A = this chain, B = another copy of it.
Amino acid sequence: MNTMPGRHFLQIPGPTNVPDRVLRAMDMPTIDHRGPEFQAMAERVLAGIRTIFKTDNPVVIYPASGTGAWEAALVNTLSPGDTVLMYETGHFATLWKSLATKLGLKPEFIEGDWRHGADPDSIEARLREDREGRIKAVCVVHNETSTGAVSPIGDVRKAIDAAGHPALLMVDTISSLASIDYRHDEWGVDVTIGGSQKGLMLPPGLSFNAVSDKALSASRGADMSRSYWDWNEMIAMNGNGFFPFTPATNLLYGLDEAIRMLHEEGLDHVFARHARHGEATRRAVQAWGLDVLCAEPAHYSGSLTAVMMPGGHDADQFRKTVLDNFNMSLGNGLSKLAGRVFRIGHLGDFNDLMLLGTLAGVEMGLEVAGVPYRPGGVQEAMNCISRRSGDD
């Protein structure tokens, strides 16, 4: 057990700081998942989660990690050997691609440099080449958690339409949902994948598929074997507020409360808050003389900021210094970024003073670890925040 005094700063880009109201909602006796009290709660949650995805269509809730929801999206809509067009935004896009391969799909991977979101033009170009319609789905990560770069999903939709291509559009919003504006219906997404442990402010253990009519239709002809992930029985039983197998009751209690909290604050305020924290963080990084990994300002993330370590300094050693000295967890660099970047999560149940404490921990960590930097990052962030104060 962590016996350091005070509250741990959990500034990885998820799981995020779970608010007390959510934890306490979960800390209640489990109830009969086939009884009327459960039913009323489930109906409220199943309706409420749609407002977060901004969809009028069903959202399937799995007792599973986000990885499971990736798998669910694919096995419900595709057949063995199908080609899917995926975009290499970073580590998680790459993991999703590997998963597709393991499942017997044929992913085509548009290469990326892990410093940008997906490029709609490249997608359009590739789809135009696919005259036989072999590509069955386009898969994009909205907010790449390994890099802090956001892909322009609305533009990806337009690119698919411009190419006149029938492929399904599948989007991973695991680290953007309820943090960065996202519109399942308006943007014409077919399957949106989400998870509980980021912007939804829950512990890990639930994941989601928001499903368009087109995706449902595709599921009828999809040949991949599936049972646990199968949408059909789930959606049918959800209609009455029940589930085909035992749901993760207490996590649903937490989801119920989290949805309530998001609407109390207002989704637009939630998004503005995350954007403000992203900007303040980038200004701090700049002031320190360090580089933000994301190279395209239009793709900057409100959820997290990946920071490049100066050459000759190991990001994991730095992270350990911060953890040992300041009781703060930062995110590590993943796969080819290992040791070269650290990531600051600023998403979920978070506010200005928590951000300033976080950035102070980074700045003092740079000092203690002997990493070359210029002081003044926290000061810049304060300037940024205090100028904006009261605006949202």
Contacts and interface: CB of A to CB of B under 8 A. Distances in A.
Contacts of A358: 353
Interface string A335-355: 000000000000001111111
Contact of A6 (B27, B247, B351, B367): B351
A231 B9 CA distance: 33
A311 interface: no
Interface stretch (A29-37, A123-131, A185-193): A29-37
Contact of A379 (B18, B249, B375): B375
A113 interface: no
A73 B248 CA distance: 20
B26 A10 contact: no
Contact of A15 (B16, B68, B246): B246
Contacts of A2: 31, 37
Interface string A234-270: 0000000000111111110000000001001100001
A390 B327 CA distance: 12
A225 interface: yes
A134 interface: no
A353 B327 contact: yes
A205 B3 contact: no
A351 B7 CA distance: 7
A350 B247 contact: no
Contact-size category for A: 35 or more
B203 A248 contact: yes
Nearest to A34: B332
Contacts of A224: 225
A194 B68 CA distance: 19
B329 A32 contact: yes
A200 interface: no
Contact of A354 (B332, B357, B378): B357
Contacts of A323: 35-36
B353 A360 contact: yes
Contact of A382 (B36, B245, B363): B363
Contact of A10 (B29, B62, B349): B29
Given A225-B224, A247-B65, A352 B356 contact: no
B32 A12 contact: yes
Contact of A227 (B5, B99, B364): B99
Nearest to A325: B389
Given A24-B27, A363-B382, 6 more contacts: A3-B261, A7-B17, A62-B64, A65-B245, A65-B248, A364-B389
Interface of A: 1-10, 12, 14-20, 23-24, 26-37, 62-68, 71, 80, 99, 102-104, 195, 197, 203-205, 224-228, 230, 244-251, 261, 264-265, 270, 273, 323, 325-329, 332, 349-358, 360-361, 363-364, 367-368, 375-376, 378-379, 382, 385-386, 389-390
